[in-house]
C-alpha cells in the first residue's frame, strides 16, 4: 500500500511538472516576442541612461508609451528575473536593471541585443518553423525552403539583414573576446601576425590588437562584408574567399565560422588555413562550442540550442564534440591540438601542423 502511495505521489509530481512545462513550450515564442519588444522599446536603455531605478510613470514618459501595457510587459519580464523591483527614496516601487537586462541594452559593453534581434527576426524564425522538414527531407536546408536560397547568398542580396548579422557577431565578440583574453592570453604569445578568417566588421581583431599590441591583424572576409568593416591601426581589411585561399600570417583565427559548414567544407577551410601559416611556429585558433555529451554544465543547453539553430539555418552546419573536432583537424593535416575552456559558450582549440 505504501509503495503504491509513493508511486501515486511521484506520478502526481511528474504530472504537475508536465502541466507547468507544457505551457512554457506552448508559449515559447511569446517569451521571445516580449524580450524583442523590450529591446525595440529601449526599456533597458532608458533605465541605464536614467542612472537609477525608474517608476512606471517615469519609464512610460521616457519611452512615450501608455503606462498600462508597459506595466504588463514589465510584470512579465520581472517574473522571469530579467528586471527587478526596488523601492526609491520615497518608498515607491521602481524597475531596476539586472545583469541579464543589461545584456539587452542596445549598445552596452555586454550587450547581446543585436544577437537576440537577428535570431528572433522573421528571417531566422521562418527557417526554424521548417525544422522538421530538414529531418524528413534528409539534408535539405530549412533556410532554403523558407527563402529560396542558402543563407550566404540571401545575406549577400539583402544588405540590411547582412548588417544585422554583422552587428550580432560583433556583439558576441564583445562578450567572448574578453573571456579569451583573460582566460588564455598565452594563446597569442610569440605571434607577430594573425588573420581573422570570416572576421566580419573587424570588431574581434580590434579587441585582440588592443589587448596584444605586438600583433598585426588581417581582417579577412567576403568583399561585400569587409567593405563595411572598421578601420583600425595595425589591422588590414582583406576581401576574398576562404574556400579558395587565406592570407598568410603566423596564425589563423576562426571564431564561429566552422560550425556553419559540413565536414568537407570545414576540412577545405582548415587546409587553406594550414597553407597560410608557417610550418615552424604557425597554428590555428578555433573558437567554437564543444558539445560534451557526458558532462553537462550551465551552458550545455545553450550549446545544444545552437546546434538546432545550425540545423535550421545552414545546409550542413552543426556544433561538434571534441572527437568530431579531432577528426576534422586530422583530415586537414594537423598533428596536435589542445582544447581550452573559457567562461563562454565557446571553447578555444589550438591546432598545430
**Structural contact between residues 39 and 116, judged by C-beta atoms closer than 8 angstroms:** yes
Catalytic residue among 58, 144, 288, 350: 288
Instruction: Give the Å distances, CA to CA, from 46 to 54, 78, 95.
Output: 9, 16, 11
Cβ atoms of 347 and 176 closer than 8 Å: no
Give me the catalytic one of 144, 259, 313, 350.
259
Can you tell me which residue has the cell 525544422? 131
159-183 and 203-211 helices cross at what angle (nearest 10)?
20
Q: Is 194 helix (H, G, I), strand (E, B) or coil?
A: strand
> 133 with 311: CB under 8 angstroms?
no
Inter-CA distances, 214 with 36, 204, 265, Å: 40, 16, 32
CA distances (Å), origin 78, targets 44, 84, 202, 303, 310: 12, 5, 36, 26, 31
Q: How far apart are CA 31 and CA 137, in angstroms?
A: 30
> How far apart are the C-alpha atoms of 263 and 325, rounded to whole Å?
10
| Distance from C-alpha of 101 to C-alpha of 81, rounded to nearest angstrom | 9
Question: Which grid coordinates are listed for 52?
Answer: 537609477
Catalytic position from the list 58, 144, 167, 319: 319
- Please give the span between the terminal C-alpha atoms of the chain, in angstroms, as a whole number: 67
Give the residue carrying C-alpha cell 504588463.
Answer: 72
CA-based R_g, the chain, Å = 23
Selection from 278, 212, 270 nearest residue 251 by Cα: 278
| SS3 at position 54 | strand
319 as an active site residue: the answer is: yes
Q: How far apart are CA 196 and CA 202, in angstroms?
A: 8
- Partners of residue 350 on adjacent β-strands: 285, 338
In the residue annotation, 14 being an active-site residue is answered as no
| Catalytic residue list | 259, 288, 319
Amino acid at each position: 500500500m505504501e509503495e503504491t502511495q509513493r508511486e501515486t505521489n511521484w506520478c502526481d509530481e511528474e504530472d504537475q511538472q508536465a502541466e507547468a512545462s507544457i505551457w512554457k513550450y506552448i508559449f515559447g515564442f511569446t517569451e521571445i516576442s516580449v524580450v524583442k519588444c523590450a529591446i525595440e522599446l529601449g526599456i533597458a536603455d532608458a533605465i541605464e541612461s536614467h542612472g537609477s531605478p525608474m517608476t512606471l510613470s517615469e519609464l512610460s514618459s521616457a519611452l512615450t508609451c501608455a503606462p498600462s501595457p508597459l506595466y504588463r510587459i514589465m510584470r512579465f519580464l520581472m517574473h522571469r528575473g530579467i528586471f527587478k523591483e526596488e523601492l526609491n527614496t520615497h518608498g515607491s516601487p521602481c524597475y531596476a536593471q539586472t545583469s541579464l537586462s543589461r545584456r539587452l541594452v542596445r549598445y552596452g559593453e555586454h550587450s547581446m541585443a543585436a544577437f537576440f534581434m537577428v535570431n528572433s527576426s522573421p528571417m531566422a524564425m521562418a527557417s526554424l518553423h521548417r525544422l522538421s522538414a530538414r529531418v524528413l527531407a534528409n539534408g535539405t536546408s530549412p533556410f532554403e525552403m523558407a527563402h529560396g536560397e542558402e543563407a550566404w547568398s540571401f545575406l549577400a542580396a539583402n544588405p540590411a539583414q547582412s548588417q544585422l548579422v554583422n552587428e550580432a557577431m560583433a556583439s558576441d565578440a564583445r562578450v567572448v573576446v574578453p573571456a579569451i583574453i583573460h582566460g588564455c592570453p598565452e594563446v597569442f604569445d610569440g605571434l607577430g601576425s594573425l588573420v581573422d578568417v570570416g572576421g566580419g566588421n573587424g570588431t574581434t581583431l580590434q579587441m585582440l590588437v588592443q589587448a596584444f599590441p605586438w600583433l598585426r591583424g588581417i581582417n579577412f572576409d567576403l568583399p561585400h562584408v569587409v567593405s563595411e568593416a572598421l578601420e583600425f591601426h595595425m589591422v588590414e581589411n582583406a576581401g576574398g574567399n576562404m574556400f579558395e585561399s587565406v592570407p598568410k600570417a603566423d596564425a589563423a583565427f576562426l571564431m564561429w565560422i566552422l560550425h556553419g559548414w559540413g565536414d568537407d567544407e570545414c576540412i577545405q577551410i582548415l587546409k587553406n588555413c594550414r597553407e597560410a601559416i608557417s610550418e615552424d611556429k604557425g597554428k590555428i585558433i578555433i573558437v567554437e562550442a564543444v558539445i560534451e555529451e557526458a558532462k553537462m554544465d550551465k551552458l550545455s543547453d545553450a550549446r545544444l540550442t545552437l546546434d538546432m539553430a545550425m540545423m535550421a539555418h545552414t545546409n550542413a552546419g552543426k556544433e561538434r564534440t571534441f572527437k568530431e573536432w579531432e577528426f576534422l583537424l586530422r583530415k586537414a593535416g594537423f598533428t596536435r591540438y589542445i582544447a581550452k575552456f573559457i567562461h563562454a559558450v565557446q571553447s578555444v582549440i589550438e591546432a598545430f601542423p
